[in-house]
Amino acid sequence: MNATNTRLNPAERILMGPGPSTVSSRVLRALAAPTLGHLDPQYVQIMDETCAMLRSVYQTENKMTFPVSGTGMAGMETLAVNLLEPGDEVIVCINGVFGGRMKDVMERCGATVHSVEAPWGEIISDESAAEAVAAHPKAKLFAIVHAETSTGAHQPLVNISKLVHDAGMLFLVDAVTSLGGHELKVDEWGIDAIYSGTQKNLSCPPGLSPVSFSDRALEVMEARKTKVQSWYLDVSMLRNYYMGNAEGGRAYHHTAPINMTYALREALQIILEEGLENRIARHEKWHRRLRSGLEALGLKYVPSHSLHNLNCVYKPDEADDAAVRSALLNDYSIEIGAGLGPMAGKAWRIGLMGHACSQRNVDLVLAALKEVL
């Protein structure tokens, strides 16, 4: 193999799928800043600032808020391996691909998983959550997906959080697709452990997974009887780097993805400059415009409660799934998402995330779909 004759030259896509979303030139410039060492005082400060901004965007005071050195699924795994020990019981809500993954990940930690299921596209009702909590009083935690990327369903969390806490369980949330695009208040809503990804509404390339743990979650970790099964994701060691160790220094654990941290810091700074409330309102505003346009084209939404930033619609029977998506990609350099899992070939997922969530992109994708369909 000699690949040295070809040059790297990726197209300038408009990314309107389920993620990654389009990254602004400002974030790309930050990504390309000179690489520092991971123990350089300048880098430690950049990481501290990044974690502080993450707290603002997560609306939490949780000390243990940091970006895991992997993509969103590494965040899911970080929560599972640190909070669970073999033999634990947990409750997991499943109404799409990502709830199913949580079950798989937690079973690999030796947990017994009790599922609360709802049909794809629907949300988990307060009643079914309450029934599960009553049926499995020994469950250590209750896990739910805030924004189900496979169906576009937007899950309300406040009532469920209360009944989970009343039962003394930890409340764990997947916010991969909601953080920075939907209202999400970690402290006010009583979320004990949460993870997200950088490549959705934060409009940063994929590669880091912001997580946050409440003090109650940290206490559960401190009471573990067994070692965390993943060395790479072991928070008992990671906290000596991200929070500083007993001597006030930063203990080396692994080499963090330095340049990705720059990009995340810049992306968070952009969010705070816009204002979190303004940003969330912007996602709602352009969602409404997109929704009107899609429905005018005769496209029907899959979920009963749709996310603003991810619009999952049924593919018209007469349309050729792959041909439509290829035409958008090749003629317009627009990426939209295919259906996932049981929805493969039956649905499209149109993202309006972060930097890509604009009147310009809404009107363009509607015009392109009108032309292609």
The correct pick among 112, 240, 259, 358 for binding its own copies (CB under 8 A) is 259
Q: What distance in Å separates the CA atoms of residue 206 and residue 355, rounded to the nearest whole number?
A: 14
Near its own copies by CB under 8 A: residue from 220, 266, 294, 311:
266
In the complex with its own copies, which residue's Cβ is closer, 34 or 248?
Answer: 34
Q: Which stretch binds its own copies (CB under 8 A): 14-22, 127-135, 139-147, 238-246?
A: 14-22
**Least distance from C-beta 262 to its own copies, angstroms?**
6
Binding mask 299-338 for its own copies (x = CB under 8 A): ------------------------------x-----x---
Distance of alpha carbon 332 from alpha carbon 251, whole angstroms:
48
Check binding of 28 to its own copies (CB under 8 A): yes
Indicate whether 105 belongs to the interface with its own copies (CB under 8 A).
Answer: yes
Minimum Å gap between C-beta 157 and its own copies is 24
- If the CB atoms of residues 28 and 281 are measured against its own copies, the closer one turns out to be 28
Applying CB under 8 A, the site for its own copies has a residue count of 81
> By CB under 8 A, what part of segment 53-82 binds its own copies?
53, 55-56, 69-74, 76-77
Residue 293, number of CB atoms within 10 A of its CB: 17
Q: Which of 47, 60, 91, 101 binds its own copies (CB under 8 A)?
A: 101
Q: Say whether residue 265 binds its own copies (CB under 8 A).
A: yes
Strands 14-15 and 334-335: parallel
- Compute the distance between CA of residue 10 and CA of residue 7 in angstroms, rounded to an integer: 9
Q: Would you say 283 or 325 has its CB closer to its own copies?
A: 325
| Subset of residues 225 to 254 that bind its own copies, contact rule: CB under 8 A | 227-232, 252, 254
Contacts of its own copies in 205-224 (CB under 8 A): 205-207
Based on the shown chain and the rule CB under 8 A, indicate whether residue 47 belongs to the binding site for its own copies: no
Stretches 46-54, 213-221, 239-247, 308-316: which one binds its own copies (CB under 8 A)?
Answer: 46-54
Which stretch in 131-139, 160-168, 180-188, 266-274 sits in contact with its own copies by CB under 8 A?
266-274
**Nearest distance, CB of residue 168 and its own copies, angstroms:** 27
User: Three-state secondary structure along the chain?
Assistant: CCCCCCCCCCCCCEECCCCCCCCCHHHHHHHCCCCCCCCCHHHHHHHHHHHHHHHHHHCCCCCEEEEECCCHHHHHHHHHHHHCCCCCEEEEEECCHHHHHHHHHHHCCCCEEEEEECCCCCCCCHHHHHHHHHHCCCCCEEEEECEECCCCEECCCHHHHHHHHHCCCEEEEECCCCCCCCCCCCCCCCCCEEECCCCCCCCCCCCCEEEEECHHHHHHHHCCCCCCCCCCCCHHHHHHHHCCCCCCCCCCCCCCCHHHHHHHHHHHHHHHHHCHHHHHHHHHHHHHHHHHHHHHCCCCECCCCECCCEEEEECCCCCCHHHHHHHHHHHHCEECEECCHHHCCCEEEEECCHHHCCHHHHHHHHHHHHHHC
Closer by beta carbon to its own copies, 96 or else 157: 96
Whose CA is closest to 200, among 59, 17, 67?
A: 17
Instruction: Tell the smallest beta-carbon distance from residue 166 to its own copies (Å).
Output: 31
Residue closer to its own copies (CB basis): 44 or 173: 44
Q: Which stretch binds its own copies (CB under 8 A): 42-50, 127-135, 153-161, 309-317?
A: 42-50
What residues numbered 134-193 form the site for its own copies, per CB under 8 A?
none
Choose one: 102-110, 120-128, 165-173, 289-297; the region binding its own copies (CB under 8 A). Answer: 102-110
